Amino acid sequence: MKNSFSLERLAAEVGGTVRGDGTFLLTGVASLESAGKGDLTFLTNPRYAKKAATTGASVLLTEKEIPGFSKPCLLTSNPYLALAKIIGLFYPSAVPSQGAKTGSFVDATAKVHPHASISPGAFVSAGAVIGPRSILFPGVFIGENASIGEDCLLYSNTTVRENCVLGNRVILQPGAVVGSDGFGFARDGEKYVKIPQVGNAVLEDDVELGSNTCVDRAVLGSTRIGKGTKLDNLIQIGHNVVIGENTVMAALTGISGSTQIGNQVIMGGQVGIAGHLKIGDNVILHTRTGVMEDIPEKGNYFGSPSSEFSAEMKRVAASRQLPELIKRVRNLERALEKIQGIKKDEK
C-alpha cells in the first residue's frame, strides 16, 4: 500500500512550518513539472520560482512563501535537507531478509552477524567480519580478514579486498573497489618492478563511495577516508591518501598518492591533485582545478595550475577580451604605418 502523510505530520518530521491546511493528506513527491493532485513538490532553487505558479502539486516545500501562490506550503530553512527526509518517508528502502542466502559463499572462519544479509552470489572470505544489519548484494566480494561494520550497504559487484576496514553505515555503490593495489612501480633499467602494496584501506563511519570509484590500499600503513565523507562516481583515490571528515568530491576527480585532504573540503568534477600535497580544511576546489602545490589556507580555488578563485576569474575575463584587443592593436599598427609612410614622403 502506498504511503500517505498529512502535511502537519511532514512538518513535524522536518521541523517545518505549515501555511494552509495542515490536515491535507499527501500521497507522493514529484517535481514541479510532473506533480499532480496529492503530491508534494519542492522549490530549492529560486530560478524555478515561476514554475511554482503552474505546478499541479497540492503542496509546495520551500524556504519562503511565494507571492501569489495560494496552495498550502511547507516552509523550512533548509528545503533540500527536508526533501531528503520526506522522500525517505514516502519511499523507504526495502530490507532483505537476514542470513546467508542459498548461492552465497561464507567461509567457515568468517564471522557474519546473524542479523546481516548475504545475497546469492556474494563471497565472504576467511577471517572476514560482517556486522549486524549490513547487506551484501549479489556479486559482492569480501577479502580475507576484511571487516565490515554495522548497517553497511554494499551493492552489486563491489569489492572490499583483504584486511580493509569499513566502519558503520558505509555505502558502496555498484562497482566500487576498496583496497585495490596502488600504482607503485620501481624502475629497473627499461622495465618496471611492482612494489608490493601490503597496507590496507580504511573507510570510517558514514562514508559513501559512488559507482566505479576506487580507493587504493596503502603501500604500508593505511589509506584513510574520514567520517561522513562522500565520493561521487568514477573517482580515483591513490595509495596512502588521507582524507578528512565530511569532505565531498564530484565525479572524475583524481587524488594522487600520499596526499592529505582536510575536513569539510569541497571538490567539483574533474579535479586533479598531484601527489604528496596537503590541502587544508574548508578549501573549495572548483570544477577542473589542477592542484600542483600545497593549499594550506581556507578559500576558493580554480584553474590549472590552481590559484585563488577571484584572481583566476579576472584572468579568464581578460583572456576573453584578447581577440578584440588583438584586432585593435593591428588597426593601430596599420594606422602607425600610414603615418610613418607619410612622414617618409614629406622628407
What phi and psi, each to the nearest 5 degrees, are found at residue 17? -120, 135
Residue 234 and residue 214: Cα distance in Å, rounded?
Answer: 7
| Strand-pair category, 272-273 with 135-136 | unpaired
Exposure class string for 68-84: b at 16+ Cβ within 10 A, else e:
ebebbbbbbeebeebbe
Say what the alpha-carbon torsion angle 45, 48, 52, 53 is, to the nearest 10 degrees: 140
Cβ neighbourhood burial of 271 (10 Å; 0-12, 13-18, 19+): buried
Task: Give every CB contact of residue 180 below 8 A, 6+ residues apart in sequence.
Answer: 159, 161, 214, 215, 216, 217
Q: Is 113 a catalytic residue?
A: no
| Strand-pair category, 73-75 with 17-19 | antiparallel
**Secondary structure in 3-state letters for 280-345:** CCCEEECCCCEECCCECCCEEEECCCCEEHHHHHHHHHHHHCHHHHHHHHHHHHHHHHHHHHHHHH
Cβ neighbourhood burial of 341 (10 Å; 0-12, 13-18, 19+): exposed
Identity of the residue numbered 262:
G
DSSP result, 253-288: -EE-TT-EE-TT-EE-TT-EE-TT-EE-TTEEE-TT
**Annotated catalytic residue: which of 113, 115, 239, 286?**
239
Active site residues: 239
